[in-house]
Amino acid sequence: MQFFEFTEEQKMLRKAVRDFVEAEVAPKAAEWDEQDVCPIDVFKKLGEMGVNGICIPEAYGGAGQGFVERTICIEELARHSGGLAMTMMTHHLGAALISQYGTEEQKKKYLPDLCSGANIGGLAVTEPGGGSDFIGQKTLAEKKDGGWVINGRKCFITNSHNADVTVVTAKTGEDEKGRNKLSAFLVEKGAEGFTPGRKEHKLGLRASVTGDVALTNVKAPESALLGKEGGGSKIGLEGISEIGRAGMSAICVGLLRACVEEAVKFANERIVYGKPIAKLQAVQFEVAQVRMAYEAARLLTYYAAGLKDNGIPCANEVATAKLFSTEAAVQASKRTMDLMGGYGVINEYPVGRFLRDALTSLSSGGTSHIMQIIIAGNTLTNFQP
């Protein structure tokens, strides 16, 4: 058995991203949250550093690293801005699916600009009929004149208004049991009939854009099909799970670390009874709980990323990491607020934002109920300690 430790290269990556985040993200994160703006200029700079294409092969302009390295980048971003981390993690989702399932032509066309920071990626599967009912999607793609015509509506889509290329799933047929067969398409910003609609005013992760996209007679050539016809369920589910949920888990690891660091800082600085509150045992209990949650979430999340890097199926491990990390981040940010007394609710301190970001992470990529269904299903049929 090996102990969990980053390699020297991974530590160097973490330091480079941490230094960047402390200089360029930390001073602005509260402002982006308050104004609800996505900092595209910073996103582009991260592209120049290699973060946007972290897990894309070098042949297509990426950094040629894996999902552990991607998790390091997202944790560091989320330490100061959950919203920017959300923009990045969803961008990774779109780019990684193109890298994994795209034709050579598609990879050459889209990946270099997605890696450099010039372009943004996204994934649109959720519909007004319920994100949990993935297979029940109503968006329809019909064959016409040698290509496809897509009609439907997607909602809660991250990067809805700023993605240059979005992986969109749609129904293209039914199987013998009458269940939807889905296919995935690459739809470009500005394509006729592809219109961003309502932009959501969210509780948290506010430095990311979330909104509707309408598809009205969108013409997609055969070359826009990602993977095989009928392969969209696998592409969508794998993307949501191993890349999307894993990304949400990484965001919450970053939020948990933020709670540990803010709790320690405040407990050492706040003087009550003439001494720092860090000397009070009740405060120490809160610090211990928050630290424990961070360490556990970190192990689960990096373990799942390591499985993915080794080509080992990890839907159950990702669901476990996502459920634990998101719920733990909600609890830990509330604990940190409690520890701060009245200051916890003063917006000058970032902890209220961490709580809002953690709450907003709960449903994205699948709710806690759905995570429990996945974990229970795996445990009841396939528990191999």
Ligand X SMILES: Cc1cc2nc3c(=O)[nH]c(=O)nc-3n(C[C@H](O)[C@H](O)[C@H](O)COP(=O)(O)OP(=O)(O)OC[C@H]3O[C@@H](n4cnc5c(N)ncnc54)[C@H](O)[C@@H]3O)c2cc1C
Enumerate binding residues for ligand X (CB under 6 A).
Answer: 90, 122-126, 130-132, 156-158, 205, 210, 360, 363-367, 369-370, 373
Give ∠ CA 130-235-251 in degrees, rounded to 5: 70
| Rounded Cα distance, 205 and 360, in Å | 7
User: Strand 121-124 relative to strand 165-174: parallel, antiparallel, unpaired?
Assistant: parallel
Q: How far is the CB of 134 from ligand X (least distance, A)?
A: 8
Tokens of residue 156, six digits:
């809660």
Q: How far is the CB of 99 from ligand X (least distance, A)?
A: 18
**Residue of closest CB approach to ligand X:** 131
Sequence-ordered list of residues with C-beta below 8 angstroms from that of 263, at least 6 positions apart, any chain: 286, 287, 290, 335, 336, 339
DSSP three-state, residue 131: coil
Q: How far is the CB of 200 from ligand X (least distance, A)?
A: 8
Q: Between 130 and 377, whose beta carbon lies closer to ligand X? A: 130
Q: How far is the CB of 240 from ligand X (least distance, A)?
A: 7
Do the beta carbons of residue 252 and residue 297 sit within 8 Å? Answer: yes
To which residue do tokens 């500005």 refer? Answer: 190
The total of other beta-carbon atoms located within 10 Å of residue 94's CB is: 27
DSSP letter assigned to residue 60: G
Q: How far is the CB of 100 from ligand X (least distance, A)?
A: 17
Q: How far is the CB of 363 from ligand X (least distance, A)?
A: 4
Q: Between 47 and 121, whose beta carbon lies closer to ligand X? A: 121
Q: How far is the CB of 126 from ligand X (least distance, A)?
A: 3
Amino acid at 60: Y
Do the beta carbons of residue 114 and residue 94 sit within 8 Å? Answer: yes
Q: Between 165 and 205, whose beta carbon lies closer to ligand X? A: 205
| Rounded Cα distance, 119 and 279, in Å | 50
Q: Between 199 and 369, whose beta carbon lies closer to ligand X? A: 369
DSSP letter assigned to residue 203: S
Q: Between 293 and 371, whose beta carbon lies closer to ligand X? A: 371
CA dihedral for 11, 16, 22, 25, sign (positive or negative): negative
Torsions phi, psi of 373, nearest 5? Answer: -65, -40
Torsions phi, psi of 247, nearest 5? Answer: -70, -40
Q: Between 134 and 294, whose beta carbon lies closer to ligand X? A: 134
Q: Between 243 and 259, whose beta carbon lies closer to ligand X? A: 243
Q: How far is the CB of 288 from ligand X (least distance, A)?
A: 30
Q: Between 106 and 126, whose beta carbon lies closer to ligand X? A: 126
Residue 188, judged by CB atoms within 10 A of its CB (0-12, 13-18, 19+), counts as middle
